[in-house]
Each structure stands twice: as structure tokens, then as C-alpha cells.
């Protein structure tokens, strides 16, 4: 499994440099997606991922893709599951697209970005809503997690 850290992903504005050849796939559920996402990311919830349809989407809409960077909130279950399914499909079908999983997911990414400065948030996060991210024990959590955890 190839991991990429937020530091590497953001260094030298790599997200923008790779925009034409990289697809960022966010497999968080629709309840997790509001509040912000990585610039240019597409959201296909894990429960809706169909590998064959996804491959057809790549072939028709994103034909110049050389790498896919994917994540869920923590890249522990949904992100890893998607990574493993894509990796297996690519290997069996000899598709030459690099796969990366964001280490510790969007949670790690957004915490890295928020702790920098406002300009950094605007460079890397689309639709950022500070009211969705709640500071708890020195980390920012999505509002839905705090509500769910405290019940």
C-alpha cells in the first residue's frame, strides 16, 4: 500500500501541479463530505463504489490520469477497502495507474491544513466551513463525529 502524507501532497503545491494527471477520490459518505474537501476531489461514497463503473469513468472522463490519491475520513476502512479493490483490478488488468492512500485520511489532511494559516486552507480545501470542524483535544473533528461520539 502506497501512502502519501499531507506534507508531501501539499509540498510545492503538488495538488495543483498534478491536477491534470491526478484524480483525488474521496470515498467519505455524503454526511462527511460537507465542510470541505481537497481541491478537485470527486466524492463517490464507499457504499456506492462500483469498480467497473469507476474504471469506465476514468476511461471516458479522466483519460489522462496517471495516479489516483484516495481517502476516507481516516483511511482505515473505506479508503483501504477501495485502495485494495482498485489495486487488485489494476494488477489483474495491467492498468498502469499509481495508487496512493492519504495517511490517516482526510482527518490528518485537514488538521495539517487548519494548523497552518487561512491562506493554506484556501489553497487546498474547497467549500471549507469552519463551523463543521470542532476543536477537541487539540485536533479538529467533523461535527458529525462529535455528535455521534457524545451520544
Cβ atoms < 10 Å from Cβ of 73: 24
Contacts of 71 (CB under 8 A, 6+ apart): 24, 25, 26, 27, 28, 38, 79, 101, 102, 105, 106, 109
How do beta strands 125-126 and 133-136 pair? unpaired
Q: How confident is the model at residue 147 (pLDDT cuts 50, 70, 90)?
A: low
Q: Report helix, strand or coil for 20.
A: coil
pLDDT in tens, 66-92: 999 999 999 999 999 999 999 999 999
Q: Which of 9, 1, 67 is nearest to 39 (CA)?
A: 9
Q: Is the dihedral of CA 108, 125, 142, 135 positive or negative?
A: positive
Phi and psi at 61, nearest 5°, equal -105, -30
Q: Class of the 3-150 domain? A: alpha beta
* Continuous H helices in 29-117: 51-61, 78-92, 105-114
pLDDT in tens, 20-47: 899 999 999 988 888 999 988 999 999 9
pTM beyond 0.95, yes or no = no
What span, in angstroms and rounded, lies between the C-alpha atoms of 140 and 128?
13
Mean pLDDT on 46-65: 92
Amino acid at each position: 500500500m502506497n501512502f502519501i502524507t499531507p506534507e508531501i501532497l501539499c509540498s510545492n503545491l503538488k495538488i495543483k501541479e498534478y491536477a491534470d494527471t491526478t484524480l483525488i477520490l474521496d470515498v467519505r459518505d455524503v454526511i462527511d463530505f460537507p465542510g470541505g474537501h481537497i481541491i478537485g476531489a470527486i466524492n463517490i461514497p464507499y457504499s456506492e463504489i462500483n469498480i467497473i463503473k469507476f474504471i469506465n469513468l476514468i476511461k471516458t472522463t479522466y483519460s489522462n490520469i496517471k495516479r489516483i490519491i484516495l481517502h476516507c475520513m481516516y483511511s482505515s476502512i473505506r479508503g483501504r477497502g477501495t485502495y485494495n479493490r482498485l489495486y487488485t483490478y489494476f494488477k489483474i488488468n495491467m492498468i498502469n495507474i499509481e495508487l496512493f492512500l492519504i495517511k490517516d485520511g482526510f482527518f490528518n489532511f485537514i488538521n495539517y491544513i487548519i494548523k497552518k494559516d487561512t491562506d493554506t486552507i484556501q489553497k487546498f480545501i474547497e467549500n471549507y466551513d469552519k463551523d463543521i470542524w470542532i476543536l477537541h483535544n487539540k485536533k479538529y473533528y467533523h461535527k458529525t463525529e462529535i455528535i455521534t461520539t457524545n451520544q
